[in-house]
């Protein structure tokens, strides 16, 4: 169905000439269906010019065309961290996840938590920071109107507008902090092994608990040596070899 077709969109790169050149060459390789070359060039751009939602997104598209679902999901997730409000990234991520073997139903969350996350994920940390600064400037302007005008109407408008802008500034700062925290304290991983048995203890002799497949996203809860404790979206917990996962 058309609704399930993967949206492959290229976003124009912004930055230095070298970054543009690398991405343009990668885009050209992608168009020519030289996907391995495109992957190398996108990764080169990330190494030389730093992280970019655009490059991660295009890299995810390239891996998907190579039928490498786990790397595709990993790069879509990384792109989404930098640009959480991007609908194209969310669409392609959901499409790639539909191709995974494991169909895990997440534990339901409190409706206020869902609403909070929905609003928070409209913008990135930097965007929320700019909104907070704008609200603060408008708050100062409202205070000026309240204290230095004589008309009662302007004073009332300044007072209530000031309250609104102050609340907006506070909320935007909270959202910016939480988005920044997600970026700096990453505890989500994607399974890269085709099939992996999750153990009860961080040891090969541990009891087999359940099996997961490549592309499944899990939360990292602990580390011990070469093992990592993970939790699936439905609450199952166990140990996996660190080499079988990749941190988003």
User: Looking at the DSSP assignment, which residues form a beta bridge with residue 237?
Assistant: 231
Residue 107 lies inside a defined structural domain of this protein: no
Residue 171 lies inside a defined structural domain of this protein: yes
pTM: 0.84
Per the structure, the count of domains in the chain is 3
**Of the candidates 63, 97, 131, which is a domain's last residue?**
97
Q: Are residues 180 and 192 in the same domain?
A: no
- Token duo for residue 1: 């169905």
Q: Are residues 22 and 43 in the same domain?
A: yes
Residue 22 lies inside a defined structural domain of this protein: yes
- Which CATH number do you get for residue 212? 2.30.30.40
Range of the structural domain that residue 129 is part of: 118-184
- Token duo for residue 79: 């792109």
Q: Are residues 139 and 88 in the same domain?
A: no
Q: What separation in angstroms does the CA of 40 have from each of 16, 55, 86?
A: 19, 12, 24
Q: Are residues 171 and 193 in the same domain?
A: no
Residue 17 lies inside a defined structural domain of this protein: yes
What is the model's pLDDT at position 19?
Answer: 54
Residue 109 lies inside a defined structural domain of this protein: no
- Can you give the C-alpha Rg of the chain in angstroms? 23
What is the model's pLDDT at position 10?
Answer: 47
**Of the candidates 138, 162, 184, which is a domain's last residue?**
184
CA distance 38 to 72: 13
Q: Which residues of the chain have pLDDT under 70?
A: 1-20
Residue 4 lies inside a defined structural domain of this protein: no
- Which CATH number do you get for residue 45? 1.25.40.10
Half-sphere exposure of 131 (CA within 13 A, CB side): 19
């Amino acid at each position: 169905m058309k609704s399930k077709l993967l949206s492959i969109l290229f976003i124009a790169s912004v930055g230095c000439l070298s970054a543009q050149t690398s991405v343009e060459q990668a885009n050209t390789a992608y168009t020519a269906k030289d996907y391995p070359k495109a992957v190398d060039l996108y990764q080169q751009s990330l190494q030389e010019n730093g992280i970019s939602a655009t490059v991660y997104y295009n890299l995810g598209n390239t891996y998907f065309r190579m039928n490498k679902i786990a790397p595709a999901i990993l790069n879509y997730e990384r792109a989404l961290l930098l640009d959480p409000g991007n609908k194209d990234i969310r669409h392609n991520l959901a499409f790639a996840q539909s191709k995974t073997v494991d169909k895990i139903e997440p534990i339901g969350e409190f409706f206020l938590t869902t609403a909070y996350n929905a609003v928070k994920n409209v913008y990135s940390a930097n965007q929320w920071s700019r909104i907070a600064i704008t609200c603060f400037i408008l708050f100062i302007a409202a205070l000026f109107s309240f204290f230095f005008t004589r008309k009662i109407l302007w004073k009332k408008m300044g007072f209530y507008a000031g309250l609104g802008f102050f609340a907006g500034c506070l909320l935007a700062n909270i959202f910016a902090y939480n988005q920044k925290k997600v970026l700096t304290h990453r505890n989500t991983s994607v399974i890269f092994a085709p099939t992996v048995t999750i153990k009860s203890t961080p040891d090969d002799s541990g009891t087999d608990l359940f099996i997961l497949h490549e592309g499944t996203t899990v939360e990292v809860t602990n580390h011990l040596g070469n093992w990592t404790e993970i939790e699936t979206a439905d609450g199952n917990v166990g140990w996996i070899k660190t080499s079988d996962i990749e941190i988003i």
